[in-house]
Structure 1
């Protein structure tokens, strides 16, 4: 593990595997409330494909610190730009992100367009069309789930210090427990995913949630990447339904949209080989060109 210092004082815990001379670097971005451990099964598979792999804990998650900057999607995208500048300043990139991580990548392309020529592939797993929402569907079960989420969001917003008191008394195995943790060894692994928010106070969780919920649709920056964009959704995702990802895909006519049957929001964990395959297909320019040609052929047959 290495620590990347940001201008506002935050430190991002970063994990780099594979040789520096690898022909392409895969950068993997996790979502809200988890850690870089989300990608633990993907790393050895990608290394076998000859790729260098970079993961990091997003600001205020895992071993990464909070810093003084506002928690926002813009800041997360700028954080990622600094990670790229530090760990992979040159050479082709394959970027993959899940949920909030996918939103971070989309904002990175918008705020740092100079990176576009280096992006060989952009794999967006469970990205929403716009902002995230507590309502994800219709029907009685979804209504109950939405009610619970609304109550939790309201409590996080209006009584964060009270919730922090409760969280400090939760067992350390509880994903919402609040406590500090020791710094890892320099070669240590990321914190387990379920400990992603152990050092994040409730007020910061609420601030990040509200910023993500307020996002407006902006697919245009992705259009410059054409067929280099691959969207993946789970058919049973209760957090970001595949219809949301489908709306984004409809704005990107050259992108590929894939819905995985019986997959939930935990798609990267439960379908690690599938996700790895979608990332590694961009490992070489030839494979990327073949993919683009196959897509164009499929489009021609459809017409």
Structure 2
């Protein structure tokens, strides 16, 4: 494992973690949730390393304004910015060869923006996992509360951002009452493991206020349904929890309908954090994508893979 820093086009430091050998036949790139960081995928990283060792190149990264990446101004906290950052990560650490890409929540929205921002990457994508995410109309989400859900949806990110501005991080760590209630009520389904809830609460506490408000505003404008056909016939799985209140099953169904050949998997009783709540399910779906991609890569002659064959 090696850690790196790359500099975005607008001069922000982006933290990247790379595992596996440079000449691995396949690169797997995992993009995390809003207000989280690369450890969003820590169960899957463990499982993938245990199964494949260094036979794949595994890349995780902290989005701008998240984790160990640099704090970003609010107007630079947008999905297109993240997609350009993703392209930069690929250019630096996986400049050639097939890619399996997985995105959780805003990480999946980043992937749906690739046809706009980095269409040159599309021929290299040979596997796709979209987890608890959406291609648009998030402004219609009611958090399961039809009467007041839209109002609450719009206020919660700004409540968290205000707490981050007026209260010290140490105080919020000692008294995470609001953060814990939001995580337990709106982000997790059933059952709720205390260590996973605590992990997400900690991530919320460490998120910058600009990250909370800026990305929320941009996600409300997010509309990439027209981009989905660019992924037609790429082996794709769309996963969602039946109790996901932020990106509900109807949003997952729209994604699955928009990509020819995509499979829709709904996890009973799970919420918005499938990588934590349903570790085995998410890891198994990644195994299927990776195993298929490795078989196709092995069948190709040395040099650049034949994309049409890889997608067959």
TM-score scaled by structure 1? 0.78
Measure, in 1, the Cα distance between the counterparts of 2:271 and 2:207: 25
Q: What corresponds to 1:38 in structure 2?
A: 40
Q: What corresponds to 1:12 in structure 2?
A: 14
| From 238, 241, 249, the counterpart of 1:242 | 249
Answer yes or no: is the 8 Å Cα contact 1:77–1:104 preserved in 2. yes
Answer yes or no: is the 8 Å Cα contact 2:16–2:62 preserved in 1. yes
Measure, in 1, the Cα distance between the counterparts of 2:21 and 2:39: 20
Measure, in 1, the Cα distance between the counterparts of 2:150 and 2:171: 24
Answer yes or no: is the 8 Å Cα contact 2:141–2:247 preserved in 1. no
Q: What corresponds to 1:294 in structure 2?
A: none
Secondary structure of the corresponding residue to residue 173 of structure 2: coil
What per-residue deviation string (whole Å, max 9, x for no partner) do you get for residues 120-165 of structure 1?
1011011213043473355xx5545544333334557xxx667611
Using the TM superposition, name which of 163-172 and 93-102 deviates more: 163-172
Answer yes or no: is the 8 Å Cα contact 2:82–2:110 preserved in 1. yes
Q: What corresponds to 1:81 in structure 2?
A: 87
Measure, in 1, the Cα distance between the counterparts of 2:46 and 2:170: 37
Change (3 A) 1:131 1:100: farther
Q: What corresponds to 2:61 in structure 1?
A: 56
| From 97, 119, 129, the counterpart of 1:123 | 129
Q: State the number of aligned residues.
A: 270
- 1:167 CA displacement: 4.9
More helix, by proportion? 2
Gaps of 5+ in 2: 181-198, 297-312
Change (3 A) 1:220 1:22: same
| From 277, 284, 299, the counterpart of 1:270 | 277
Measure, in 1, the Cα distance between the counterparts of 2:293 and 2:83: 29
Answer yes or no: is the 8 Å Cα contact 2:143–2:149 preserved in 1. no
Secondary structure of the corresponding residue to residue 19 of structure 1: coil
TM-score scaled by structure 2? 0.76
Q: What corresponds to 2:108 in structure 1?
A: 102
Secondary structure of the corresponding residue to residue 260 of structure 2: coil
Gaps of 5+ in 1: 178-191, 290-303
Change (3 A) 1:230 1:109: farther
Aligned: 1:205 with 2:212? yes
